Structure formats: structure tokens, C-alpha cells
Amino acid sequence: MANDPSYECRGLRADVGSRRGPRRLVLDDVSFEIAKGEFVSIMGRSGVGKTTLLRTLAGLHEASAGSVVRFDGQPVSGPPDGVSLVFQDYTSSLLPWRTVAKNVELPLEGRLPTEERRSRVAEALKMVGLADRSDAQPHELSGGMQQRVQIARALASQPAALLMDEPFGALDALTKADLEDQLLEIFAATGTTVVFVTHDIEEAVYLSDRVLVLDGTPAQIVAEIPVASPRPRTQMLTRESSEFLEARHRVHEVIFGT
Ligand SMILES: Nc1ncnc2c1ncn2[C@@H]1O[C@H](COP(=O)(O)OP(=O)(O)OP(=O)(O)O)[C@@H](O)[C@H]1O
Ligand SMILES: [Mg+2]
């Protein structure tokens, strides 16, 4: 059905800590839905639980008993098919001894025939503008290029949902703007659902259909701000539009107070 959510979380609780030591509740009663093909950003102060939430959606962190976490209608218990995660730290997420193409191919190995793998890799590298660097080693690439390789690796499995944890946080402003636009093009072309964690209010508003703000200890969603700016968006015109400024104002108000 067209209106089925991509993700559905109800009463999500998550705690962290070692199995032996005391555990600390990070998320309590977090509830939201994300529609298929929607772009949602998650914001909140450092340590509030954004990565914990994303890892829970990716099936890498187990929610507490009683939590409802569904992807595509199915309870999440382990990494669901159709979900790709892009980590914040690209320097430690690529295998240094593999070429760019071999890094992108990694999650497809053992899952698809060689021909199909090669064409998926070529297509994903083209989407991120790195078709001509497929034989390079990661250390031969700039930080922005390495992050694009990581994004290509996530795209190669043609995910129904792309989870991104501060993917552009470590990049300079120009590279960041380029990658934001590339991501918007990919988002428009593939129709994938995106859940995007960022510390940057302008980035969240520029990219998203909705911004969710986490706050509190344990954290809950304290605000949900829709962004009415039409798509396609452009760095200059969108950022000057009244819809953008209004949403930015509201997010700012929630995060910093008036
Ligand atoms: N494996 C762990 N063991 C103990 N505490 C943890 C563990 N992972 C996270 N935490 C704690 O859980 C809380 C939430 O962490 P999380 O990484 O989700 O925050 P975040 O919102 O992503 O922060 P940042 O913006 O700095 O990335 C933090 O207080 C952190 O110290
Ligand atoms: Mg984090």
C-alpha cells in the first residue's frame, strides 16, 4: 500500500552500557513514523542519543522489551534487508587495502552474481561522481571523495532506506554543499527514504521534509518541524526562501530557546 510507513517507532526505549555494568536509559518513549520516500533529519545536542536511535533503526542496537520498531511493516531484529547505514567516520569505514570499486562491492559479495555486482558498483560510483576513480586506493582520495565512496557503497545495494549519521560533519563548507546537492539528486532519482542525523540546522532544513528534535535524559522527540520548501532545492534560492527561513527559525527556537 502506498501509504504504509517506511519506519514506525512506538514507545521506543533504548539503553546503553556493558552487559555486566549498569545500563543507562538513553531513549524513552520515542514515537514517530517516517513515510516511504520521505527525507527526515534528526537533531539534538551531543550525547542525546541520535546515533543510538539510528543504530536501533539499522538493527545494530537492540531496543528494550516492549518497544515497537518496524521497518516496512516488519519488526526490526537485526539489520533489515533494504537498509543501508552511512557512518560518520569515513576514514575508518573504508578498507584501505581494497580499491574504491572493491570497497563499494563489499556488501554485495555473496549476494549477487559477478556481472550484476559490477554493474551496481559502476552505477553507484557514477551517482556520486567517482566513475573515473574506481581503481584508486582510499588513501589516494580526499576526505570528501572517501565519504562519497562510503555513500556509493550504501547505494550499491539499492536500499529502500538510507540511514546517515552526520555524513558531512567533518567536511569543509564547499564540499559539504556539493555533497548535499548530490544527495538530493540521488534522493530524487531513487525515491529512497532518508533518515539523516546532523548538528547543522541549515543542513537539516535544506535537505529535509521534516526535522525531528530529540531532547531530555532520557531523550524524547520534543519537536517535529515540517519544511515546506518545494523541490528541487538549490543552495541559493532555497536558503533565501520564506519557507526555509521559517523552518530554520522554528528549529533554532526549539534547540536554543528564543
Ligand atoms: N557503548 C556505550 N556504552 C556506554 N555508553 C554509551 C555507549 N554508546 C553510547 N553511550 C552513551 O549514550 C548516550 C547517547 O550516545 P549517542 O552516541 O547516541 O549520542 P549522539 O546524540 O549520537 O551524540 P553525538 O552528537 O555526540 O554523536 C551518550 O551519553 C553516550 O555517552
Ligand atoms: Mg552520534
Number of domains in the chain: 2
Same domain, 65 and 98: no
Domain of residue 93: give its range: 86-158
Same domain, 167 and 218: yes
For the Cβ of 50 lying below 6 angstroms from any atom of ligand 1, the answer is yes
Indicate which ligand has the atom closest to the C-alpha of 45. Answer: 1
For the chain, the maximum distance between any two Cα atoms, rounded to a whole number of angstroms, is 56
Same domain, 64 and 104: no
Same domain, 189 and 222: yes
Question: Would you state the pLDDT for residue 1?
Answer: 45
Same domain, 125 and 228: no
For residue 78, what is the domain's CATH number? 3.40.50.300
| 159 in Cβ contact with 151 (< 8 Å) | no
Same domain, 96 and 148: yes
Same domain, 165 and 70: yes
Domain end point (choices 137, 158, 179): 158
Q: Rounded CA gap, 13 and 29, in Å?
A: 6
If one residue of 30, 51, 57, 200 were mutated to test the ligand 1 pocket, choosing by the most ligand atoms within 8 A of its CB, it would be 51
Q: What is the pLDDT along the chain (258 residues), one digit of tens a residue?
A: 456 899 999 999 999 987 788 889 999 999 999 999 999 999 999 999 999 999 999 999 999 999 999 999 999 999 999 999 998 877 778 999 999 999 999 999 999 999 999 999 999 999 999 999 999 999 999 999 999 999 999 999 999 999 999 999 888 899 899 999 999 999 999 999 999 999 999 999 999 999 999 999 999 999 999 999 999 999 999 999 999 999 999 999 999 986
For the Cβ of 17 lying below 6 angstroms from any atom of ligand 1, the answer is yes
Question: Would you state the pLDDT for residue 19?
Answer: 77
Question: Would you state the pLDDT for residue 258?
Answer: 66
Same domain, 173 and 57: yes
Indicate which ligand has the atom closest to the C-alpha of 26. Answer: 1
Domain end point (choices 114, 139, 158): 158
Same domain, 95 and 75: no
pLDDT 10s digits, 147-187? 999 999 999 999 999 999 999 988 889 989 999 999 999 99
Same domain, 189 and 209: yes
For the Cβ of 47 lying below 6 angstroms from any atom of ligand 1, the answer is yes
Same domain, 124 and 165: no
Question: Would you state the pLDDT for residue 2?
Answer: 52
Same domain, 13 and 75: yes
